[in-house]
C-alpha cells in the first residue's frame, strides 16, 4: 500500500473519522494497528483522522513505518486564517506542520452543531488547498430534505458553494464525501442505489461546471453507517470511490476489513 499516487491513477480511498474519541495512547494504538492491518493491501489510500491533540504523535509514529506502507493522517477541521488573534482555532499550515496531508471540511456535525455555513466550508477548503492539504469536502442532505425531495438540489448547492473560486488543478487535489445526515451514526445506511444516484449527480455537476476529465478524476467517498458488511455493495457502484467511516473506524479490525473488502471490489470492477 502506498499513498504516493502516480498522476492520473485513481485509487479507492478509505478514511476513518475518529470524531471526539480516543486518548493519545488509544489513538496511537489504533493508528499503528490500522497501519499494520493494511500493510498488505495494494492500491488503496488509507487515512485516519484522530483528534487535533493526537495528530502530531500519530503522524510521527506512522511515519516510522516508511512511505511504502504509510497510512496518511487527516485533521477533522481547520480554520481559514493562517495566523492571528483567533483563540482556539487551528490553521492549515499548523496541520501540515503536525504531519497531516488531508483535512475533513464541512462535516455535517460541524454544519449542524457548530453552525458552519456553505461560505465557511468554501473559505476552509481554499485555505486548506493553499497550505498544501487535500480537503475531504463533506456534503449531504438531512432527513427532512430527503423526505421533501430536495436531496439533489441541496447536494448541488453545497458542492457549488464549497468549490467556488477553486481552480481545476486544486480540485484535482480534493475529495468529496457524500454523507447523508440521516445515515450518520444511525445504523441506517443509504442503499447502494441511493448513494450511486447522489454520487452520479455530483460527478455530473463537476463535469458540467468543469470538465469530464476533472469529474472522472474526482474521488467521491460515501459516508454514513459504513460497516464491513455493507462496504462491498457500496463499492460495487460505479461512482463510489471509497468510504468515510465513523463508528466502524474506531476498531482496527472492522476498519481494516472495510479497506480490504472495499479495495477488492474496486479492483475487480
Ligand atoms: P458513522 O460511520 O458512524 O455513521 O459516521 C459517518 C461519518 O460521519 C464519517 O464522517
Mind listing the pLDDT tens digit for each residue in 200-230? 999 999 999 999 999 999 999 999 999 999 9
Evaluate: CB of 242 within 6 angstroms of ligand 1: no
Mean pLDDT for the stretch of residues 120-126: 98
Q: 171 CB contacts (<8 Å, ≥6 apart)?
A: 163, 206, 210, 214, 218
Rounded Cα distance between 108 and 181, Å, is: 7
Is 237 in the active site?
no
Band the pLDDT of 68: cuts 50, 70, 90.
Answer: low
Annotation says 264 is catalytic: no
Angle of CA points 201, 177, 2, to nearest 5° = 120
Q: Could you tell me how many residues make up the chain?
A: 269
**102 Cα: distance to centroid of ligand 1 (angstroms):** 17
Q: Which atom of ligand 1 is nearest to the CA of 225?
A: 4
Question: Which residue out of 145, 179, 199, 237 is catalytically annotated?
Answer: 179
- The pick from 226, 234, 248 for probing ligand 1's pocket by mutation, whose C-beta has the most ligand atoms within 8 angstroms, reads 226
pLDDT at position 170 over 50: yes
* Ligand 1 centre distance from Cα of residue 245 (Å): 5
Q: Taking all residues of the chain, what is their mean pLDDT, rounded to a whole number?
A: 94
* Chain segment 242-266, per-residue pLDDT in tens: 999 999 999 999 999 999 999 999 9
Helix (H, G, I), strand (E, B) or coil at 102: strand
Ligand 1 in contact with 223 (CB < 6 A)? yes
- Residue 248 CA: nearest ligand 1 atom is 2
E strands, the chain, in order = 13-17, 45-49, 72-75, 102-105, 134-139, 175-178, 220-223, 242-245
Banded pLDDT at 64 (limits 50, 70, 90):
low
Lowest mean pLDDT among 6-20, 42-56, 61-75, 184-198: 61-75
Task: Please give the grid coordinates belonging to residue 204.
Answer: 455530473
The yes-or-no verdict on residue 5 having pLDDT over 50 is: no
Q: Say which of 107, 116, 141, 199 is annotated catalytic.
A: 107
**Whole-number pLDDT of residue 65:** 55
Tens of pLDDT, residue by residue over 128-140, are: 999 999 999 999 9
Pairing of strands 102-105, 45-49: unpaired
45: nearest Cα among 59, 61, 34: 34
In whole angstroms, give the CA distance from residue 63 to residue 16.
Answer: 18
- Which residue is it, cell 488543478? 169
For residues 87-102, average pLDDT: 97
CA-CA distance, 181 to 121, in Å (whole number)? 16
Rounded Cα distance, 222 and 231, in Å: 10
56-75 residues labelled b (16+ CB within 10 A) or e (exposed): bbbbebbeeeeeebbbbbbb
pTM confidence score: 0.95
Using an 8 Å Cβ cutoff, are 68 and 78 in contact?
A: no
Residue 135 Cβ < 6 Å to ligand 1: no
- Contact 245 CB / ligand 1 (< 6 Å): yes
Separation CA 58–CA 71 (nearest Å): 10
CA distance 183 to 224: 5
Atom of ligand 1 nearest to the CA of 104: 10
Is residue 50 lining ligand 1, measured as CB closer than 6 Å? no
Expressed in angstroms and rounded, the spacing between residue 203 Cα and the centre of ligand 1 is 22
**Which conformational region is residue 191 in: left (phi greater than 0), alpha (psi within -120 to 50 degrees), or beta?**
beta
Residue nearest to atom 1 of ligand 1 (CA): 246
The model's confidence at residue 21, banded by pLDDT at 50, 70 and 90, is very high
Amino acid at each position: 500500500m502506498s499513498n504516493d499516487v502516480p498522476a492520473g491513477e485513481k485509487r479507492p480511498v478509505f478514511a476513518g473519522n475518529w470524531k471526539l474519541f480516543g486518548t493519545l495512547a488509544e489513538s496511537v494504538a489504533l493508528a499503528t494497528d490500522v497501519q499494520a492491518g493494511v500493510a498488505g493491501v495494494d492500491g488503496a489510500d488509507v487515512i485516519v483522522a484522530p483528534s487535533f491533540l493526537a495528530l502530531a504523535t500519530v503522524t510521527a509514529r506512522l511515519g516510522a513505518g516508511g512511505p511504502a506502507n504509510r497510512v496518511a493522517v487527516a485533521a477533522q477541521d481547520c480554520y481559514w486564517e493562517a495566523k492571528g488573534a483567533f483563540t482556539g482555532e487551528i490553521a492549515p499550515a499548523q496541520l501540515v506542520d503536525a504531519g497531516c496531508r488531508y483535512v475533513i471540511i464541512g462535516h455535517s456535525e460541524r454544519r449542524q452543531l457548530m453552525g458552519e455555513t456553505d461560505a465557511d466550508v468554501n473559505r476552509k477548503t481554499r485555505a486548506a488547498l493553499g497550505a498544501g492539504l487535500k480537503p475531504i469536502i463533506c456534503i449531504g442532505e438531512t432527513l427532512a430534505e430527503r423526505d421533501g425531495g430536495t436531496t439533489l438540489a441541496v447536494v448541488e448547492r453545497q458542492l457549488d458553494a464549497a468549490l467556488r473560486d477553486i481552480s481545476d488543478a486544486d480540485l484535482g487535489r480534493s475529495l468529496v464525501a457524500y454523507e447523508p445526515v440521516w445515515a450518520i451514526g444511525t445504523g441506517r445506511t443509504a442503499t447502494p442505489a441511493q448513494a450511486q444516484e447522489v454520487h452520479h449527480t455530483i460527478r455530473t455537476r463537476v463535469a458540467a461546471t468543469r470538465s469530464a476529465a476533472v469529474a472522472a478524476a474526482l474521488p467521491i467517498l460515501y459516508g454514513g453507517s459504513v460497516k464491513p458488511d455493507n462496504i462491498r455493495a457500496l463499492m460495487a457502484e460505479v461512482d463510489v470511490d471509497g468510504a468515510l467511516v465513523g463508528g466502524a473506524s474506531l476498531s482496527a479490525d472492522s476498519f481494516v476489513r472495510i479497506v480490504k473488502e472495499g479495495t477488492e471490489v474496486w479492483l475487480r470492477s
